[in-house]
């Protein structure tokens, strides 16, 4: 009756062979295509390095002025703009300016990549039920698999550095924008679509003239969630060589430096609050603009 108690699992030898075959297959793939993949991501690496040097090398008053201007354009709120200026002045005063600029660079580039890749995938899902049935489980896996697990294939393929860290951040952060783009387009009122069809609008005109404008509040909610998830990956990405606020947090954990960890953690929180408030306010303005019938 032992078979009722002991689960009939694979034998140790078979399990070991299975693991070895998976590892060896991935190593073979990595050796065969590693250089091509690295070359493919080289332009992205150059852009990331350029943007990081631009932020860290530019005069700090100019950087704060540009950030304040972008905050004002997005939120149209003097309270949020003033809070942003004060937050960045405190960050600089407490000696975290360069790490914050490095984090800002990777989050900005990761968000740009997620928007460029995620919105077309979301549109594709919205226009095809079978695509939604295939992509939705993939997004579920991307959102639920532990972050450390998918760092392993990324590091095996591309080693340690900025690009693997950026890819890891994008894998973790892209699902919300895909899901909410798909949802926003699917929620567009059928009567509106029928009205567009009755005026003879083509499929492309319906997409860019009706569906995407009406789905913008949902799409922007997806952008907001993507930014928040990218920021939450800052510390984990620093484990594979991404510079920024995550690096001193890791040092604080390793050496039990409470103040260092709290200060850099609060700097990450400050960035998250600024991004969140600006994107939320901008999304509400879009919603209000749509509801007043100006679209």
pLDDT value for 295: 45
Give 10-residue mean pLDDT values along the chain (295 residues): 76 86 85 80 86 89 93 87 92 90 89 92 90 91 80 79 84 91 88 81 82 85 87 81 83 86 89 85 73 54
Say what the alpha-carbon torsion angle 15, 16, 21, 24 is, to the nearest 10 degrees: 150
Distance CA 60, CA 169 (A): 27
The per-residue pLDDT for range 194-251, each reduced to its tens digit, is 888 888 778 888 888 888 888 888 888 888 889 888 888 878 888 877 788 888 888 8
- The terminus-to-terminus CA distance of the chain in angstroms comes to 71
> Which pTM was predicted?
0.84
Residue 19, phi-psi category: left (phi > 0), alpha (psi -120 to 50), beta (remainder) = alpha
222's tokens: 């997806």
pLDDT value for 290: 62
Neighbours of 45 (CB within 10 A): 16
Who contacts 251 (Cβ-Cβ below 8 Å, separation ≥6)? 257, 260
């Amino acid at each position: 009756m032992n078979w009722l108690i002991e689960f009939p699992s694979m034998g140790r030898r078979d399990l070991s062979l299975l693991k070895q075959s998976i590892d060896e297959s991935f190593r073979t793939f990595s050796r065969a295509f590693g250089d091509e993949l690295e070359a493919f991501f080289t332009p992205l690496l150059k852009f990331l390095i350029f943007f990081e040097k631009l932020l860290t090398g530019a005069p700090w008053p100019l950087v704060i002025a540009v950030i304040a201007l972008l905050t004002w354009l997005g939120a149209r709120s003097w309270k949020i703009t003033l809070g942003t200026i004060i937050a960045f002045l405190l960050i600089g005063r407490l000696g975290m300016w360069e790490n914050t600029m490095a984090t800002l660079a990777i989050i900005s580039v990761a968000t740009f990549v997620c928007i460029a890749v995620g919105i077309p995938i979301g549109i594709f899902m919205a226009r095809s039920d079978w695509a939604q049935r295939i992509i939705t489980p993939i997004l579920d896996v991307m959102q639920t698999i532990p972050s450390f697990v998918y760092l392993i294939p990324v590091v095996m393929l591309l080693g340690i550095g900025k690009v693997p860290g950026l890819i890891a951040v994008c894998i973790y952060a892209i699902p919300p924008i895909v899901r909410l783009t798909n949802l926003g387009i699917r929620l567009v009122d059928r009567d509106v679509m029928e009205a567009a069809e009755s005026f003879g609008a083509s499929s492309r005109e319906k997409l860019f003239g009706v569906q995407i404008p009406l789905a913008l509040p949902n799409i922007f909610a997806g952008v907001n969630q993507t930014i928040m998830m990218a920021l939450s990956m800052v510390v984990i990405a620093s484990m594979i060589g991404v510079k920024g606020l995550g690096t001193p947090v890791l040092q604080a954990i390793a050496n039990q430096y409470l103040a260092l960890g709290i200060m850099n953690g609060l700097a990450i929180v400050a960035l998250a609050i600024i991004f969140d408030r600006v994107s939320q306010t901008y999304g509400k303005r879009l919603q209000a603009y749509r509801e007043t019938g100006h679209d």
